[in-house]
Amino acid sequence: MTGPTGLALYTRTARASSARVIGAYSTSFGLASRLLPRPVRGRVADVYALVRVADEIVDGPATEAGMGGADKRAVLDALEAETLSAIEHGFSANLVVHAFAVTARETGIGPELLRPFFRSMRMDTREIPALDEQAYRRYIHGSAEVVGSMCLRAFATEDPRLRLDDELEEGARRLGAAFQKVNFLRDLADDVERLGRVYLPGVDPGRFTDADKDRVVDEIAEDLDVAARAVVRLPPASRRATAAAAALFGELNERLRATPAAELLRRRVSVPTAVKLRLVARAALGRVPA
């Protein structure tokens, strides 16, 4: 039996590249995504890979290569234009972009989700030492909430009968926001020391208190509670995988709650591998409460 050729072979190769990206960069998402059916898992990996490439432009490797802010913005602009073109035409010479475009065409991801994402990424290329409340909410929407909406569209392909509504959209956005806020707290020390930036509004790292930390932790817990009401409505495998990811970040949030604020400026909180495996196993058995 012969294998795929032409565009089918190219797409399969592109999607294999996306799977390599999520496998290399994310233990939590990679672990939870194993509970998904293969086609849905591939689409989620395609979303993750594009988001990760954009994040790497603004958050590390591009800087190490010698790029400044203007150079990074030019690369982001080109990546956004290439992605929108690939969605329209069904092809890109960039394997990660091609895989994302195929998934976007299959799921209905369009410019209304992509443009806010790239706007937030461009914010990271400018020397803004702190975000005010409005900029923070705008950044969260583009960097996290729309990514949750993209993943929701991938999950919906598990069951074509699922109709997206306001509750599902809100749950997806709030789950994405919760993940982002957890990472803001986990990465506080690195963001301050390496980037000279504080994402959380009203936070002075020189006077970062337990009250500051608890305010964010409580907001994350509320986001997770809202998201849980939508998660139970997802198709079975997507429900288990999303519940696993939510449980992993919920565990992180509780560990952040238990960690003194001053300590967050010295170390990155994590969940031990054995605990991650236990949480994912519980989700696989449907034992993670919504």
Give the tens place of pLDDT for each residue, 27-72.
777 888 999 999 999 999 999 999 999 999 998 899 899 999 999 9
pTM: 0.93
Q: Which two tokens stand for residue 86?
A: 């690939």
User: Which of the four pLDDT bands, split at 50, 70 and 90, describes residue 130?
Assistant: confident
Three-state SS across 14-30? HHHHHHHHHHHHCHHHH
* pLDDT tens-digit series, residues 69-88: 999 999 999 999 999 999 99
DSSP secondary structure letter of residue 145: I
Helices 146-156 and 111-123, axial angle in degrees (round to 10): 150
Q: What is the pLDDT of residues 158-192, one digit of tens each?
A: 999 999 999 999 999 999 999 999 999 999 888 87
Average pLDDT, the chain: 92
**Distance in angstroms (rounded) separating the CA atoms of residues 221 and 151:** 21
Alpha carbon distance 191, 134 (integer Å):
20
Lowest mean pLDDT among 112-126, 180-194, 234-248: 180-194
Answer yes or no: are the C-beta atoms of 87 and 104 closer than 8 Å.
yes
Contact between 223 and 250 under an 8 Å Cβ cutoff? The reply is: no
Contact call for residues 135 and 198 (beta carbons, < 8 A): no
Assess contact for 198 and 205: CB atoms under 8 A: yes
- For the four alpha carbons of 17, 20, 25 and 29, in that order, the dihedral sign comes to positive
C-alpha to C-alpha distance for 98 and 203, rounded to whole angstroms:
40
| Rounded Cα gap, residues 220 and 151, in angstroms | 19
Q: What is the DSSP string of 227-249?
A: HHHHHTTS-HHHHHHHHHHHHHH
d(CA 118, CA 76): 7
* pLDDT attached to residue 288: 54
